[in-house]
Amino acid sequence: MRKYMLYLPLGLAVMLMTESCKPKTDAPAETKAVDSAAHVATVSESSFGTLPDGTAVALYTLKNTQGVEMTVTNYGGLITSLKTADKSGTIEDIVLGYDSLSGYLAKSPFFGALVGRYGNRIGNGKFVLDGKTYTLAVNNGPNHLHGGLKGFDKVVWAATPSTSAEGASLKLTYLSKDMEEGYPGNLQVEVVYTLSNDNALTVDYTATTDKKTVLNLTQHTYFNLSGNTKRDILGHTITLAASKFVPVDKGLIPTGKLQEVKGTPFDFTTPHTIGERINADDPQIKTGGGYDHCWVLDKTDKSLTSAATAYDSISGRTLEVLTTEPGVQFYTGNFLDGTITGKFNTVYAKRYGFCLETEHFPDSPNQPQFPTVVLNPGETYKTQTVFKFGVK
């Protein structure tokens, strides 16, 4: 029997008790009992099924005092649902995904995933570190994408839930062993999701290594602020605090240059709807099949600053993204092709979700002019991203 002590505000405490048993199905089981008082944040645990090797997978439900609710599984750190209110107070799910584990195992374009060791692409699946060439798994044509064949989105993390006066949290830890997916160093990773009572999701990333390595962690949730995926995201209004972006070649690998957004369809320094220029006669738009590029944020330090905002005028829902990272990959679901049926029996067609992946730039290990992604022994990798939810 496992026990979790969750420390709650006002001196309250709640004990979660779960039976150790192997689930027989990948359908979500009944949620275990927790304090449901409206004035405290809560975390509960339920079964999310089993992997083909028999490993049990858990689902954690985090609720804040304002009615915002998020479910996260320890398989890949996947955010499987995130429910917020629209302007009329109706609470609905604003992220893409599946109802059961089987969907994520069968086919998932990184829905809600923790991505690592390297988020985004590395050209030709290779990089050089101190004169040694490292060869990575190639899973995106000739290139390496989002950690390889079995990245952090496809492993089971150790999970520790907790609550505080600020909200509900889930700490996920994982040891990525030396040369896993081709990366050097035993990498100890910790990611903490905190759903605060002021309707913000904070993601804190921490990592250490025993060998020199490269690292670029991110979160790959697909958002659709319409609620329960009522329509595509082309009517969403986006702003990006970036006057430059990273142009790419035909394989979506950076050319090594940075390009000014002014006078291009990539200028979101003032608000524009996603669909306004997504089919523009622009070589970079054509290469990406829409937006699938990294924007260079207008910042000169590692402080937590606003990077992007999104707004759906019909639901009234808003999203603001703040980060300590130098870039954000804005992706508009260009590779969704109608072959996936997700939650609410929705067919995920092209541009039914958008991602704002805070990160260092793609292919940085091969682009010495980009901000470094090298992590040395004795150093601590530490970044933070905040997703703030609201209405107007």
**Considering 45, 92, 180, 357, which one is annotated as catalytic?**
357
Backbone angles phi, psi at 103, to 5 degrees: -65, -45
Single-letter amino acid, residue 124: N
Q: Which of these is catalytic: 144, 220, 293, 360?
A: 220
State the Cα torsion 375-304-224-293 to the nearest 10°.
Answer: -50
Do the beta carbons of residue 82 and residue 96 sit within 8 Å?
Answer: no
- Report the DSSP beta bridge partners of residue 260: 244
- At 159, list the tokens: 């999970």
Q: Is 272 a catalytic residue?
A: no
Distance separating alpha carbons of residues 257 and 247, to the nearest angstrom: 7
Taking the C-alpha atoms of residue 288 and residue 181, their distance in angstroms, rounded to an integer, is: 26
Closest CA to 314 of 226, 212, 182: 226
Whether 190 is catalytic: no
Q: What is the DSSP letter of 351?
A: T
Between CA 43 and CA 36 the distance in angstroms is 10
DSSP 123: G
DSSP annotation of 53? T
Cα–Cα distance between 388 and 168 in angstroms, integer? 15
The strand pairing partners of 338, in sequence order, are none
Q: Distance between CA atoms of 129 and 152, rounded to whole angstroms?
A: 22
149 Cβ contact list (under 8 Å, min separation 6): 137, 139, 181
| Exposure of 116 in the CB half-sphere (CA atoms within 13 A) | 31
Active-site residue list: 220, 357
